Amino acid sequence: MDKLWQLIPQITSPLAAISFVVYLIYLIRRAIEKRKSATLTVGDDASKAQAAKVILRDIPDVELPPIEKPKDALELAKEIIAGKMARYHKTMNSALLVVAICAITFLLAKLIGDEKNPVKITTSKSWAENMAVKKELPYPILSIVCHITLSNVKVDSNTIRRASFRYHYVLKATRNIEDSEKIFQEQFVSNEGNITPWAGSELQEIESIKDGRYWVKFNAKQGDIFTVTTGANYTYKPPFSNTGTSCFDGLELSSDEWLTCYPNSIDYIDNLTFIVEGIDAEIGRANGNSMLRKGEKGVVTSQDGATCRVYQSDKACKIIAKWQKIAPGECVGLKIKWPPTT
């Protein structure tokens, strides 16, 4: 029965359209006949007789009785037009009746069909999703939020810097994904820090301990939107270097600056946000253009877009930086003030 209610609109829609077209055609023809009828009532007797003659001449397929007087021709023409008008009237009423029946049946079927099969709400695809579908990738990254906490710790009279990274990825599966596949690779590297892996939200399979690479395993159905969390803890021992990061290698920094980056190798990313806060460490915005971006061709651009947010309950500065539409081969970085302590 459900299939019948879904089939009815497909039948009634073309029937209603055809009936409506018939109605319009006969409406036009009725208007023509009305104009002809008007010629039989306007002007002198000679004009009316000539009009009647023209009307009778246009219907050669109708056998007419002998016409002895012009007046007889006029009356006959009026009767013929009146008969046509009556037929047009019946045809139009029939067409309108069919349209009304089809419309009522269509609406009833839609109401019953929609009640049994609710309309699915669809949204337009984002830039990253469109690109992932085009490139036949298993997922796009709709957003990444990287929460970084920085701290200074005294160990044997030396100051140790610690950085904790937590990445929260929001993905959308473009196809079914099994946890046996190797499709989501995570890597943490540093020019000078020691790295301790952190257990994230999903299963992990080590690819290379030396390079800090591992596979993140998960299951997803096509169209699923889900979150994956990964992370690592970094420890920096003095003396501290100021020569940039893995994808901004050689970039000179001042003694109170620190730079972190996100190198993107294969993903299409709609939005990426860095949130950096100091825990037992005074941090702040770097002078000048603190947000860096290296394009696919290696060209580095910068902008002063990072903000320092301070809340009444917590006077410490939180550094916020955001980027959009990050393509494979690009890298973004954030430079902040993190003065060394003695």
> Which residues are 284's β-sheet partners?
337
Categorise residue 280: left if φ over 0, alpha if ψ from -120 to 50, beta otherwise. left
Categorise residue 212: left if φ over 0, alpha if ψ from -120 to 50, beta otherwise. left
- Distance between CA atoms of 67 and 76, rounded to whole angstroms? 9
- Distance between CA atoms of 335 and 233, rounded to whole angstroms? 19
Nearest to 200 by CA among 233, 162, 163, 151: 233
Ramachandran angles phi, psi of 141, nearest 5°: -105, 110
- Distance between CA atoms of 173 and 133, rounded to whole angstroms? 10
pLDDT at 193: 76
Ramachandran angles phi, psi of 203, nearest 5°: -65, 145
Give the list of residues 6+ apart from residue 78 with CB closer than 8 angstroms, or none.
37, 40
Give the list of residues 6+ apart from residue 77 with CB closer than 8 angstroms, or none.
40, 51, 52, 55, 56
pLDDT at 23: 64
Helix, strand, coil content of the chain in percent (nearest 5): 30, 35, 35
Ramachandran angles phi, psi of 117, nearest 5°: -130, 85
Ramachandran angles phi, psi of 106, nearest 5°: -60, -50
- Judge contact between 234 and 165, C-beta under 8 A: yes
pLDDT at 249: 78
Tens place of pLDDT for every residue, the chain, 342 residues? 555 555 666 666 666 667 667 667 766 766 766 666 666 555 565 665 655 555 555 554 445 454 445 555 556 556 666 666 666 667 666 766 766 676 677 666 666 655 455 444 456 789 999 999 999 999 999 999 999 999 988 777 777 889 999 999 999 999 999 999 999 999 888 777 788 889 899 999 988 777 778 999 999 999 999 999 999 999 988 777 776 777 887 788 888 888 999 999 999 999 999 999 998 888 999 988 999 999 988 899 999 989 988 887 777 889 999 999 999 999 999 999 998 775
Q: Tell me how many degrees the CA angle 22-26-29 measures, rounded to the nearest 5.
A: 145
DSSP state of 119: P
Q: For 127-337, which CATH class?
A: mainly beta
> Which residues are 251's β-sheet partners?
none
- Distance between CA atoms of 242 and 244, rounded to whole angstroms? 6
Q: Are strands 158-172 and 203-208 parallel, antiparallel or unpaired?
A: unpaired
> Which residues are 322's β-sheet partners?
273
Q: Are strands 307-311 and 269-278 parallel, antiparallel or unpaired?
A: unpaired
One-letter amino acid for residue 204 of the chain: Q
> Cα 105 from chain centroid?
34
- Distance between CA atoms of 336 and 258, rounded to whole angstroms? 5
Greatest Cα pair distance in the chain: 134
Q: Is 204 exposed, middle or buried, given 0-12, 13-18 or 19+ CB atoms closer than 10 A?
A: middle
- Distance between CA atoms of 297 and 24, rounded to whole angstroms? 63
What are the extents of the domains in the chain?
2-116, 127-337
pLDDT at 67: 47
